[in-house]
Structure 1
Amino acid sequence: MKNNRGEIKNETRKIIDLIKDYSYSIQYISLAFGVLATIFGILIIVFIRGIQFSGFLVLSIGIFAFILSLVINLSSIKKAIFSSRGAYGANTIFILIATIFILIAANSVIYILNDRGSSPSWFRSDLTASKEYELSNQAINAIGNLKEDLEVFIFLRSDSSQDKLSINRTEDLLSEFSKNSNKFNLTYKHVDPDLDPNLASSLNVDRYLAGRDLPVLILKLKESQRISYVVGKDPSEAIDVFSEKDLISALLVVNQIKQKVVLFLSGHEERDITSVDKASESFGQAKISLERDNYIVNSVTSDELSRILLSGDRESFPAALIIADATDEILTSEQNLIQEYIRFGGNLMLLLEPDSPPSLSNLVSPWGVVAGNGTLVDTASYVAPNIQFLQIKDSNLQIPDHPITHNFDVMYFPGSKFIGLSLRPDEIKITQNGRPHIKAEPIAYTTLNSWEETSNESINFDGESELAGPLPIILAVESIAAINESPVLNERGDYVTSKLIISGDTDFASNKFLFSAKNEDLFANSINWLTSDVELISIRPKIKVFRELVLTQDERNFVRWSGWIFLPVISIFLALWSWWRRR
């Protein structure tokens, strides 16, 4: 019995000794397996979504193997920690943990200050090339005029990835407004009108859309319950469906700052301002553009305009009158009415076409403005194949510097007539203090290779009967008196000033061409200049600089795997090699 017990003890010692002999290898095999399994499991979870459960399983096995290696090697770990080399390693780990903690704390403080919006001006800086996240002074002033808390509702469907991107961009813009609102809270919330139809109905979203499927911002003051709204652009056409200028205009309305009235003359077969069909020649989109600039926009007949002027009510006096391609003759009595409106300090935008009736150009003849009789042709700058479809480019020196066209690059005019001034500079009267009665500035020209084509049969330049370019297309006129008339002073002792915009083309602002190049800005800036809303001219949409890195599939794979796999593996290998040498 003793011999048998002795043999069993000997066998047990042999097994234990054998395990001890191989424990060194088992420890490091378990460690290596645990690390590799953990990395492999994480890669499966992140990149192979279809088998995420398997990834979690591999990750669990890897973590278990890693912990097992630590338990097996517990005594060695204790010795290593309490040795001089271990103290050095523990000190390194402590410094690493402290650095990570300091970085987390610093980032938390920065996030809290940035989110509260109470950080000093030097704390936040827009480093983008076009300063697309920096608010203008007009925006800061509009936010400062808030007298109570404001809620903003973003009504935008979230059906597609494009919709979601537009939501994010809108929230980014509103976030900047919110951070700069220090006196009162400016909060915002996204609402899908399909998921929350009751809220959409209570805020009358359908009334603002008028049947259009577009995003809407509703601004609502919490105490007074005053509401203003902004109709945005189609997310399928542009991810920035709302602009800074849109929000400023809405803030001006909700703060009860007076809205100016812009009227479209009707009754002479002018362009329709109710249709928003982008394939049509109507002016519905132009109307929306003006409404975004905080204008009240309506149509008016000559009789209605006469009653407005006779009432003497300054509140209803239109800030600008637009005549968009009237195809019927305007009666002499109506011409006199419109001219009297201008003399009273009214502002006129007159949009002509090559075949417009003569009575339209007669409207502005007292101010020395004349219109051509033919169609402009430009063989150097046009939209092929139609040489009458004018392309006006700053690179061709066709756009003089003017507040309306500042920083413009391209505009399109699908058929225009010549607009000019019949007066020479020495024929324009000047006041005693040196102010001219009439100041006219062309804001768009044709090139040297252009002329006014008067023939309906062929397009060939006739040097004897046709005008050669460059020729003005649009004229901006500022006047304190018509020809042979004297300036009039208002109650403040200032000259009564009128402004005119006369364009040889109407189609540039139609639904069909309004969104081509800078055409929309040209139309909106012209009205802002007429009504002296110079600040709104400076708040045009910021240019988004294209900075996308375009890669082929092979290049994309190289960048992906070198960043995600290659560099971390090299770092781990160098760490293990350094440890092996120093062990």
Structure 2
Amino acid sequence: MNKPINIAGLAGLGLLIVGALFYNIKGRLTPSTAGLLLGAGALLLIYFIGNFRLLKAKLSQRSTRHGLNLVLMTIIVLGIIGFVQIIATKRHIRYDLTENKRYSLSPQSQKLLSSLPEKITVLCFYTESHRSKPIMEELMKQYEYYSDKFEYQFIDPDRNPAQARQYQLKSDGTAIIIYQDKTESVLSTNEEDITNAIIKVTRKKSRSIYFTTGHGEAGIDNTDKDGYSLAKQSLENQAYQVKEILLMREKEIPTNCDLLVVNGPQTDLFDEEIELITQYIDQGGKALFLLDPSPASELSRTLERYGFEIGSDMVVDRFSRIMGGDYLIPIVTKYHDHDITKGFTIMSFFPLARSVKVKSSPGEGITASILAETSSDSWGETDRAALERGEAQYDEGKDLKGPVPICAASIIELDKIARKEESPTAAEKEEEEPAASGKKARVVVFGDSEFANNTYFAQVGNSDFFLNAVNWLAQEETLISIRPRSPKSTPLTLTASQGRLLFWLPIVILPGLVIVIGSYIIIHRRRRG
């Protein structure tokens, strides 16, 4: 009678194994899998009932109890490990201990992913032998970690030629970013390129930025050291349309102008041009002024109505000399609390800068804020002749004592602004069109334009500071952050003696110690035995 019962037990165990395999393969409990598991349970129950006395006798033995305790402890440990693994899979945390956060996304990418309104898909067309596939896989895991609305899929274009043709694939190693009905191709494994592509496809509309020309400003297409081609390229990477405008030819600022940039005019603007700019701002426009220590006095006086005080000085900074730079290239490490500089801790450089203060009483409806200051070892020098002779020194009551503000921002509430012009008569009021309630203009002023040219744009925090100001003015706050950096190479350089030590220690010395200690223990035990 025991033989059929034992066969039933073996059959039940076999059905249990087959049912577990089917469940893992299918990923869900199908009717056939449930039938197998129920059959296994019934057969095992018959086995245990038929061998109840034998099992009871076995359990009463000391060796069996110890074995069961071992099995129970093993099951508990495996259960704890499995539970921790499930939690880690659902809610895992990554720690990046590399110096330049090589295995973490930049704050801008993280911020962009956390604000995704809808699902975004990345199709990575990589063959199995492509050398960059492992790099792309790791990068995609990082993107997926920061957003549940980000998903990706790797496709071998050789095995799936139809999908490759569908997206007009031209080369192996291409990522297709898909958002709603928009697509963008990325041919690299660079985080900056992927993040910029996500910005382009998720942007609701393309914003236009106009740079003024005609007064010696740096050209946006100029690739020389004084040009703005790098700044233009960075703006275009974030889906901005960047153009130039000659104000003397215009009757008004174009209606599609989302931001007007006056970048370092070397001569004063004409009255007609200043009038165009003030009309644009007074209608809710956004403007960025990069003003070098040059004679643009009329423009400086115009900016006073928006809460700024532009100094007729040049910033001298002894701290920059200590850091190995020029004393006329102040280093900025102190940033005030503002949306543009939130979380900004990177130093920036401003060659040949002037002071930009905010008025203590800017007027009703104007909120002006300082963004950045130089060190306490700096001052605003007003004696240009002394600067040219190399004899500049701080003069109490004449020069501006540091820290010197060199950048400020202003928000102008147009329905509250106190205008300098006389109030219109009642009849004139009736003829005027009502102002848009709650409409606000934004203005940012830097006391330098060279910090964003091709020479200094990529230096430390300069590009981030410039782009953050542009994004704030264009009301693209989700793009304000620190942008992706190129991976920093940190090779380990060893001397000849260090190289020999690195060979002998793990290859010879440590294994040798293990052999010696093991041999001693074996000999000692044999002698005692």
Give the TM interval when normalised to the shorter protein.
0.5 to 0.7
Which position in structure 2 is the counterpart of 1:321?
260
Q: Would you say 1:146 and 2:119 are equivalent positions? A: yes
Which position in structure 1 is the counterpart of 2:65?
none
Query: Which one of the candidate residues 268, 291, 298 is aligned to 2:215?
Result: 268
Q: CA deviation at 1:281?
A: 0.9
Identity %: 22
Q: CA deviation at 1:140?
A: 3.6
1:478 partner letter: I
Change (3 A) 1:308 1:348: closer
- Secondary structure of the residue aligned to 2:329 is strand
Out of 177-186 and 558-567, give the one that drifted further. Answer: 177-186
Query: Which one of the candidate residues 372, 379, 401 is aligned to 2:311?
Result: 372
Q: Would you say 1:300 and 2:226 are equivalent positions? A: no
- Paired with 1:498 and 1:559, the residues of 2 have a C-alpha distance of 64
Change (3 A) 1:568 1:289: same
Q: Would you say 1:339 and 2:278 are equivalent positions? A: yes
- Paired with 1:174 and 1:325, the residues of 2 have a C-alpha distance of 41
- Paired with 2:271 and 2:169, the residues of 1 have a C-alpha distance of 47
Which position in structure 2 is the counterpart of 1:526?
469
Q: CA deviation at 1:484?
A: 2.8
Indicate if the aligned counterparts of 2:264 and 2:290 stay in contact, CA closer than 8 A: yes
Which position in structure 2 is the counterpart of 1:440?
369
- Paired with 1:179 and 1:519, the residues of 2 have a C-alpha distance of 29
Q: CA deviation at 1:183?
A: 6.7
Query: Which one of the candidate residues 388, 408, 411 is aligned to 1:475?
Result: 408
- Secondary structure of the residue aligned to 1:354 is coil
Change (3 A) 1:257 1:545: same
- Secondary structure of the residue aligned to 2:401 is coil
Out of 376-385 and 542-551, give the one that drifted further. Answer: 542-551
Q: Would you say 1:415 and 2:355 are equivalent positions? A: no
Which position in structure 1 is the counterpart of 2:392?
460
Indicate if the aligned counterparts of 2:354 and 2:380 stay in contact, CA closer than 8 A: no
- Paired with 2:484 and 2:180, the residues of 1 have a C-alpha distance of 32
1:484 partner letter: R
**In the TM superposition, what are the counterparts of 1:79-158 in structure 2 within 5 Å?**
120-128=89-97, 133=103, 138-141=111-114, 145-146=118-119, 149-152=121-124
Which position in structure 2 is the counterpart of 1:558?
501
Indicate if the aligned counterparts of 2:179 and 2:202 stay in contact, CA closer than 8 A: no
Query: Which one of the candidate residues 396, 400, 404 is aligned to 2:340?
Result: 404
Which position in structure 1 is the counterpart of 2:331?
391
Q: CA deviation at 1:348?
A: 1.1
- Secondary structure of the residue aligned to 2:261 is strand
Indicate if the aligned counterparts of 1:260 and 1:295 stay in contact, CA closer than 8 A: yes
Indicate if the aligned counterparts of 2:383 and 2:392 stay in contact, CA closer than 8 A: no
1:286 partner letter: A
- Paired with 1:371 and 1:417, the residues of 2 have a C-alpha distance of 8
Indicate if the aligned counterparts of 1:451 and 1:466 stay in contact, CA closer than 8 A: no
1:498 partner letter: A
Q: Any stretches of 5+ residues in structure 2 without a counterpart?
A: 1-69, 158-163, 422-432
- Secondary structure of the residue aligned to 2:199 is helix
RMSD, aligned CA: 4.8
Indicate if the aligned counterparts of 1:328 and 1:357 stay in contact, CA closer than 8 A: yes
Which position in structure 1 is the counterpart of 2:297?
358
Q: Would you say 1:536 and 2:479 are equivalent positions? A: yes
- Secondary structure of the residue aligned to 2:327 is strand
Change (3 A) 1:128 1:302: same
Q: Deviations over 1:427-458 (max 9, x none)?
A: x444xxxxx52323242235354232333353
Count of residues in correspondence between the two structures: 421
Change (3 A) 1:189 1:505: farther
Query: Which one of the candidate residues 330, 341, 360 is aligned to 1:424?
Result: 360
Out of 353-362 and 120-129, give the one that drifted further. Answer: 120-129
- Paired with 2:328 and 2:96, the residues of 1 have a C-alpha distance of 43
- Secondary structure of the residue aligned to 1:370 is strand
- Secondary structure of the residue aligned to 1:513 is coil
Which position in structure 2 is the counterpart of 1:259?
206
Q: Deviations over 1:387-420 (max 9, x none)?
A: 222223x3xxx44344433442422111112222
- Secondary structure of the residue aligned to 1:511 is coil
Q: CA deviation at 1:285?
A: 0.8
1:331 partner letter: F
- Secondary structure of the residue aligned to 1:515 is coil
Indicate if the aligned counterparts of 1:351 and 1:502 stay in contact, CA closer than 8 A: yes
Q: Deviations over 1:284-319 (max 9, x none)?
A: 11122223334332223337875664x5xxxx341x
Which position in structure 2 is the counterpart of 1:289?
234
Which position in structure 2 is the counterpart of 1:29?
none
Which position in structure 1 is the counterpart of 2:153?
187
- Paired with 2:147 and 2:346, the residues of 1 have a C-alpha distance of 35
- Paired with 2:328 and 2:216, the residues of 1 have a C-alpha distance of 24
1:176 partner letter: Q
- Paired with 1:507 and 1:119, the residues of 2 have a C-alpha distance of 49
- Paired with 2:348 and 2:277, the residues of 1 have a C-alpha distance of 29
Q: Would you say 1:567 and 2:492 are equivalent positions? A: no
Indicate if the aligned counterparts of 1:145 and 1:255 stay in contact, CA closer than 8 A: no
Q: CA deviation at 1:513?
A: 0.9
Indicate if the aligned counterparts of 1:170 and 1:242 stay in contact, CA closer than 8 A: no
- Paired with 1:373 and 1:190, the residues of 2 have a C-alpha distance of 63
Which position in structure 2 is the counterpart of 1:20?
none
- Paired with 1:475 and 1:325, the residues of 2 have a C-alpha distance of 16
**In the TM superposition, what are the counterparts of 1:9-48 in structure 2 within 5 Å?**
none
- Paired with 1:204 and 1:304, the residues of 2 have a C-alpha distance of 44
Indicate if the aligned counterparts of 1:324 and 1:351 stay in contact, CA closer than 8 A: yes
Indicate if the aligned counterparts of 1:351 and 1:505 stay in contact, CA closer than 8 A: yes
- Paired with 1:272 and 1:340, the residues of 2 have a C-alpha distance of 25
Q: CA deviation at 1:462?
A: 7.3
- Paired with 1:566 and 1:332, the residues of 2 have a C-alpha distance of 83
2:340 partner letter: I
- Paired with 1:327 and 1:228, the residues of 2 have a C-alpha distance of 41
Indicate if the aligned counterparts of 1:508 and 1:514 stay in contact, CA closer than 8 A: yes
Indicate if the aligned counterparts of 2:144 and 2:150 stay in contact, CA closer than 8 A: no
Q: Would you say 1:226 and 2:183 are equivalent positions? A: yes
- Secondary structure of the residue aligned to 2:407 is strand
Change (3 A) 1:570 1:513: same
Q: Deviations over 1:475-533 (max 9, x none)?
A: 222222455369x9976x4x222221111211111110112221111111111222233
Q: CA deviation at 1:264?
A: 1.6
- Secondary structure of the residue aligned to 1:512 is coil
Indicate if the aligned counterparts of 1:220 and 1:226 stay in contact, CA closer than 8 A: yes
- Secondary structure of the residue aligned to 1:123 is coil
Which position in structure 1 is the counterpart of 2:6?
none
Out of 473-482 and 503-512, give the one that drifted further. Answer: 473-482
- Secondary structure of the residue aligned to 1:226 is strand
Q: CA deviation at 1:180?
A: 6.3
2:401 partner letter: G
